[in-house]
Amino acid sequence: MKADADARIERIKAEADERVARAEAEARDRESRLAAEQAQGKQRAERMKAEADGRIERIKAEADERVARAEAEADATLDRARGEIEGQFRRLETSLRRPSSRDRAEQWLVRIRREVDGQLMPSLLGVHNRLRPPEVD
């Protein structure tokens, strides 16, 4: 009986050792699979991050390009407006430097009055004096 019990104990120990070995092997396999899945997940995450970073950089570059174009268009518009305004100012300054019709008419009247007072009136006065009969005392 003791021999049967010892044999049975040995068989149970062997079965237990075999189960432990299988459980350890399954645990190692599971650990390997999980490590592989973790590595794949990490690679996938890194790849997705790299793709997202690339998209962000492209979007940023496109936005910078749009901003640069908008600034260039705004500068061109401002330059055109500045040129138009400067042209208007030059025309106004030129117009203000030119005498107006009224100013020119007044200048002509002054010139005519000077001519009349300076040359015509003295000669008319001489003719007038010659035409007057001499005064008899």
Q: Give the pLDDT confidence of 64-122 residue by residue, as tens digits.
A: 999 999 999 999 998 999 898 888 888 878 876 776 777 777 888 888 888 777 776 66
Q: Is residue 38 scored above 80 in pLDDT?
A: yes
For the purposes of burial, counting CB atoms within 10 Å of the CB of 12, is it exposed (0-12), middle (13-18) or buried (19 or more)? exposed
Average pLDDT, the chain: 86
Whether 76 and 120 share a structural domain: no
In a domain, 105, yes or no: yes
The per-residue pLDDT for range 120-129, each reduced to its tens digit, is: 666 666 666 6
Whether 137 is in a domain gets the answer no
pTM of the model: 0.46
Share of the chain above pLDDT 70, in %: 85
- The pLDDT score that the predictor gives to residue 90 is 87
Residues 30 and 85 in one domain: yes
| Domain count within the chain | 2
Q: Which domain holds residue 11?
A: 2-98
Regarding whether 92 and 105 lie in a shared domain, the answer is: no
56 and 116 in a single domain? The answer is no
Q: Are residues 89 and 106 in the same domain?
A: no
